Structure 1
Amino acid sequence: MTVQQQPQAFLKSNPGQEPVLVEGLFRADPGRVFRAFTEPDEVRCWFVPKSGGLVSAEIDLQVGGRWCFVIEKTAEKQIHFEGEYLAIEAPNRLEFSWRHVQEYADGTREATDTSRVSVTFTEVGKATEVKLRHEAIKTEDARRGVGGGWNGCFGRLADLVVPRNG
């Protein structure tokens, strides 16, 4: 079996390990990267690890405020991530709860147990080091999925926040 290192560029924890640790150095100031995490128009551009974007992003950026990122919406069901903001220290720190939810047209709802995401934004010269810790994910398979998802999202985030003029 061949081990591929490239897809693991931002994922620092072993796949499936608790907690999921993702880190990246982005060529932008902390305020710019923080905005990418907290403004709906920005989040829609990078939050999905594959091509395309979110169907919608709603953010109530205050402690206790809710967020909801819809990744798929059809007549039969909606798939989204949701949670509440637990700590906000712009532009240096963000913490929020996290659930993966499927809602069906008949009103039934399936949601994962709540996990927790902590993100720090630290200025390093002319760049920002982002450290993300996603913890309390119940199963190894879910941790693998979350780790792969964050890894892909960080790649798209890097493309979004790099200054246009070099």
Structure 2
Amino acid sequence: MVDDPLDNLDRRILHLLQIDARGASDTDIARETDVTGTTVHNRIGELEERGIILGYNPEINYEKAGYPMRVLFICSTDLSDRSEMAEQALDVRGVVNVREMLAGEENLHVEVVAEATSDVKQSTEQLHDLGLRVVSSDILAEEHVQPWNHFHQEVAGEDADSPSDIGTSEE
């Protein structure tokens, strides 16, 4: 159990930031949560200090950016080396994401973006040189993500079928 759990306002702020962290100002979030912009600003600062908000990262369309190949490598390593190998895999050319699996043989999932198959081959060789065994690899077609809104339905203040208006207001 967490010593200092999130309250409903924290949960609502987190959800609204997931929807549009760049476009949502403190004032926009305050309007949605019925508190002041100062309160929102302070809460976001506290969430960052507590390590709950880790950062704000852009979602990139790699294909439009000139990297049409996205490959998911399913790798295997000793469980005792998993975290160290994950850190080292981040230095491999083209690696944009490494996920550690809790257990099992296929315990590292490494996502690579590349311009061409020759780049994928180079990444494969570098992963192998680290000592990772590539169990399989798949070309990724699409990825679909959404903000997680399951703290409590009433906390988000939305019906399951209606999107938030944050970041979409007409001015």
Q: TM-score, normalised by structure 1?
A: 0.30
**Higher RCO, 1 vs 2 (CA within 8 Å, ≥6 residues apart):** 1
Q: TM-score, normalised by structure 2?
A: 0.29
By percentage of residues, which structure has more strand?
1
By percentage of residues, which structure has more helix?
2
The higher radius of gyration belongs to: 2
